[in-house]
Every structure is written in structure tokens, then in C-alpha cells.
Amino acid sequence: MKILMIGSGGREHALIKKLLESPKCTKLYCAPGNGGISRDAELVDIGVMDKENMVKFAKDNAIDLVFVAPDDPLADGMVDAMQEAGIRAFGPNANAAIIEASKVFSKNLMKKYGIPTAKYEVFSDAQKAIDYIKSENTAPVVVKADGLALGKGVIIAQTVDEAIDAVKEIMEDKKFGDSGNNIVIEEFLTGPEVSVLAFTDGKCVKPMVSSKDHKRAFDNDEGLNTGGMGTISPNPYYTDEIAKECMDTIFIPTIEAMNKEGRPFKGCLYFGLMLTPNGPKVIEYNARFGDPEAQVVLPRLKTDLVDICEAVIDEKLSDLDIEWDNGAAACVVMASGGYPVSYKKGIEMFGLDDKGGVDGAIVYHAGTKYENGKFYTNGGRVLGVTATADTLDEALKKAYAAVEKISFEGAHYRHDIGKTK
Ligand code: AMP
Ligand code: GLY
């Protein structure tokens, strides 16, 4: 099979390395990909939002399967465009990807179908939102832009004044553009966070092994929120008992709710959960694999990913037994100095072999360039250095030992992945 991966980050690299394990995969393309991905797949210079050229490329090259990994092209209907051209594509249609693309949609869905989540109100008028915050007079309180905002549209306001400033920035200064036309103001929840990705064909849902993201930039959960500085799998807080409860109260009800809304979800649905003192609640849905969750979940997948993609597309997922490795995986993200604010690109990297890897770990490239046999930084998150082992401690040791072998000017990474709540 000829497969086309759409995207360019560490998640896409993890998906590509897993697809390459399949005997069915004979040719793999990635658009646009990155330096590390270029060592595993043929890069195609087409942007992720360019539906017209992407469809043309898929047709011209007789692609058998397209995998749409990032949120923006999913929300914009890349899967729909492929299907209209008769090309098989993995990922939700735009009318289902809205579960991530609009927080107003997802919150209203949860309320309508009784799926546990934080209490909230929706506003399209800044003054009304500010009046509400003042009348409630509680903090912390969470302010969320409705639409996609590169993972930055959530503000945990520690005071009422901070919440009011957040409303002004989002709705009046348009910090996230039209994504902030509507906002959600939400109750602040506490408890450990768990990421559960699940395969679903709209009929049945098969959760993958759990994981935990470390979103803050620096050790001890200090600094700004990032796209994710590291992950572990499994998540130690996610017991079998909690998994069962989530299946009954969250996963199945969500799939059924989407069907009832006439928006069947097919692809990978990401449940961002918080294990609150009052039970597990949904913090957010994503319509795709998490990044860097994919980097710890996929290495533990034993079943052929091509088979899973086909079963999802053909709505035959219930027939497939998906197997997982019983051990653990850890991913440490190496980022550019200054990330997530501003950072330089084009810095030469040392310690990687010609394939972009190091001994003892799997190196997923997130933001790199490959030129004349050398790797250079080309993004905020640069690498996801991942190791698997029988236990989480061993996986962490292996991942950190591999990180020590890699260097580039300004590189920073967290030293406490797997250690904090
Ligand atoms: P999101 O972009 O929706 O994943 O939110 C980013 C992060 O904000 C989450 O991973 C949580 O740590 C935090 N967060 C979002 N909503 C809430 C909430 N209602 N209560 C507490 N923390 C939250
Ligand atoms: N790591 C969080 C996300 O992919 O949204």
C-alpha cells in the first residue's frame, strides 16, 4: 500500500515509524514532514491546509491510504475532500472534528448528553462575560477561547481581575482572532490529568493504553503552558476501575452522542480527563492523536496500525483485537532555547546518527531540518526522545540517557518527566 501522512511533527514521526512496521506498507510519503521524517519517508512539499494539491497528489500517485494527523486540516475538511475524490482517509470528517475545533460545541454536547465535565457558561459578548465573572466572584476560574488557538486558548485565571483581562484579550484584542468570538467560562477543577486516546469507527470505541502529558515548560510544573514537554505511558493514576468508569460514563456516551447529533466520529478521539474528587471529568476532546502522547502510546502498540486504520474506515473495528505491550514508555521533549515564547531556528545538532537516531532510544523528530548529512533545529519542540522498558523507571532512565547524547545550542528539556502530578 502507498500511504500519505499529512503533518510535520513528532506525532507524525511516531505514526510513520509505526506504519513502517507494517508489511502492508510499501511506500510512505509525508507532507510536509521534517528533517527526521525525511530519513523514513519521502517528503512532499504541500502544506497541510492545501486540500486541492493534496488531493491531486494522492490521485496522481495512486495513494491507498491518507492519514490526516493535525487538528487544523481535520477541522477544515481534509478527510471529506479525500473521500469526495474516492481516496480512503483516516480521520474524522469536518462535522465530527468540531468536537475539538469548537469548545462551545463540545461543552454543549456534554451538557446535553450528561457527560461529566466542568460547569460552564458561554458568552459572545465581552461585557456580559465580565459581569458574570464579577457576579460569581470566584477564582481560580478558567477562560477558554471557543476555537483552535494552537493550544494556547485556555487561561487559568488566578484572580477575578486576571479573568477579566483574559476576556478582554480574547474578545476585544482578538488575541486568537475569530477563535475568540465566543468564549467558555468554566469552573476550575483539580486532580491528576490523564490522556486517553481511543480508536473509534463510530460504532465501537477501543481505548488505547493511557498516558500523561507534562504541559508546563519547566521543572516542577513551572513556566508557561506548551504543546507538551514529555509524556509517560501508562498513566499511574489511571486504574482499571477508573478505566471502566470512563468507558461507561464518558467514552461510550460520547460516541453515542456524536451519532445522535448526526456527526459520527471515525478516527482517533482523544479524551483529556481530570480525575477529580467527584469522579473523572472531561477537560477537552481532541479529534486526533495527542502530541507527545502518540510518542509513548504508539511504541506500545503491537497490532498492525494499517489494519486498524482500515478497520476504522470500513467500520469493522469490533472485529479487531488490538494488542498492547505490557511495559511502559517515556518521552522527553528537547526544545529550542526560549520555547514556547521565541526561539532561534537553524542551529546545528550533534549526537544523532545519519537516520536521526541514537542507540538505546527512539528519536522522534518534531522540528528539524536535514541538509547535507546534518540535522538542524527548525521549530520550538525539536525532538521527542522516547524509550520503552518493562517498568516506567527503566524507560525514563533510558530516555534520559539518550537525551544526554544529543546536544544543540540552547537546548532545554524537563528533568522531571514522570515525576510530577
Ligand atoms: P486544554 O487546552 O483544554 O487542554 O487546556 C489546557 C490545560 O488547562 C489542561 O490540560 C488543564 O491542565 C487546564 N485546564 C483546562 N480546563 C480546566 C479546568 N476546568 N479546571 C482546571 N484546569 C483546567
Ligand atoms: N499534548 C496535548 C495535545 O496534543 O493536545
Q: What is the CATH number of the domain that holds 20?
A: 3.40.50.20
Q: Say yes or no: 332 and 306 in one domain.
A: no
pTM for this predicted structure: 0.96
| Residues 107/90, Cβ–Cβ less than 8 Å | no
Q: How far away, in angstroms, is 392 Cα from ligand 2 center?
A: 21
The answer to the question of residue 113 being in a domain is no
Strand bridging mode 193-200 / 154-157 = unpaired
Q: Which amino acid residue places its CA nearest to atom 5 of ligand 2?
A: 290
What's 415's DSSP letter?
S
Residues with Cβ within 6 A of ligand 1? 118, 142, 151, 154, 156, 186-189, 193, 215, 272, 283-284
Identify the domain containing residue 28 by its residue range. 2-93
What is the rounded distance in angstroms from the CA atom of residue 34 to the CA atom of residue 327?
29
Q: What is the CATH number of the domain that holds 178?
A: 3.30.1490.20
3-class SS at 177? Answer: helix
Q: Say yes or no: 217 and 280 in one domain.
A: yes
What is the rounded distance in angstroms from the CA atom of residue 287 to the CA atom of residue 94?
10
Last residue of a domain, one of 56, 78, 93: 93
For cell 459572545, name the residue: 124
Q: What is the CATH number of the domain that holds 346?
A: 3.90.600.10
For CA atoms 304, 70, 73, 31, the dihedral sign is: negative
Q: How far away, in angstroms, is 337 Cα from ligand 2 center?
A: 21
DSSP 143-171: EEESS--TT--EEEESSHHHHHHHHIIII
Our measurement of the distance from residue 304's CA atom to the centroid of its chain's CA atoms, rounded to an integer in Å, reads 21
The pLDDT profile of the chain, 421 residues, written as one tens digit per residue, is 999 999 999 999 999 999 999 999 999 999 999 999 999 999 999 999 999 999 999 999 999 999 999 999 999 999 999 999 999 999 999 999 999 999 999 999 999 999 999 999 999 999 999 999 999 999 999 999 999 887 778 999 999 999 999 999 999 999 999 999 999 999 999 999 999 999 999 999 999 999 999 999 999 999 988 999 999 999 999 999 999 999 999 999 999 999 999 999 999 999 999 999 999 999 999 999 999 999 999 999 999 999 999 999 999 999 999 999 999 999 999 999 999 999 999 999 999 999 999 999 999 999 999 999 999 999 999 999 999 999 999 999 999 999 999 999 999 999 999 997 6
Q: Which atom of ligand 2 is nearest to the CA of 288?
A: 4
| Residues 350/358, Cβ–Cβ less than 8 Å | no
The alpha-helical segments, DSSP class H, found in 76-122 are 78-84, 94-101, 103-113
Q: Say yes or no: 203 and 301 in one domain.
A: yes
Number of domains forming the structure of the chain: 4
Q: Say yes or no: 170 and 197 in one domain.
A: no
Closest CA to 382 of 285, 292, 265, 283: 292
Q: Say yes or no: 220 and 307 in one domain.
A: yes
Q: Say yes or no: 220 and 306 in one domain.
A: yes
Q: Say yes or no: 312 and 397 in one domain.
A: no
200 contact partners, CB below 8 Å, separation of at least 6:
206, 255, 265, 266, 267, 268, 269, 312, 317
Last residue of a domain, one of 59, 93, 127: 93
The answer to the question of residue 368 being in a domain is yes
What is the rounded distance in angstroms from the CA atom of residue 231 to the CA atom of residue 194?
11
Q: Say yes or no: 362 and 244 in one domain.
A: no
Q: Say yes or no: 162 and 201 in one domain.
A: no
Our measurement of the distance from residue 139's CA atom to the centroid of its chain's CA atoms, rounded to an integer in Å, reads 28
For cell 477501543, name the residue: 206
Residue 416 CB neighbours (<10 A): 14
Q: Which ligand is nearest to the CA of 157?
A: 1
The answer to the question of residue 134 being in a domain is yes
The answer to the question of residue 109 being in a domain is no
The answer to the question of residue 413 being in a domain is no
Last residue of a domain, one of 187, 217, 242: 187
Q: What is the CATH number of the domain that holds 275?
A: 3.30.470.20
Q: Say yes or no: 198 and 265 in one domain.
A: yes
Strand pairing partners for 263?
none
Q: How far away, in angstroms, is 85 Cα from ligand 2 center?
A: 30
Strand pairing partners for 28?
3
3-class SS at 228? Answer: coil
Q: Say yes or no: 341 and 296 in one domain.
A: no
The answer to the question of residue 114 being in a domain is no
Q: Phi first, then psi: what are they for 335, rounded to 5°?
A: -115, 165
Q: Say yes or no: 211 and 298 in one domain.
A: yes
The answer to the question of residue 41 being in a domain is yes
Identify the helix (H) or strand (E) that includes residue 51.
helix 51-60
The answer to the question of residue 339 being in a domain is yes
266 contact partners, CB below 8 Å, separation of at least 6:
91, 92, 93, 96, 200, 201, 202, 312, 313, 315
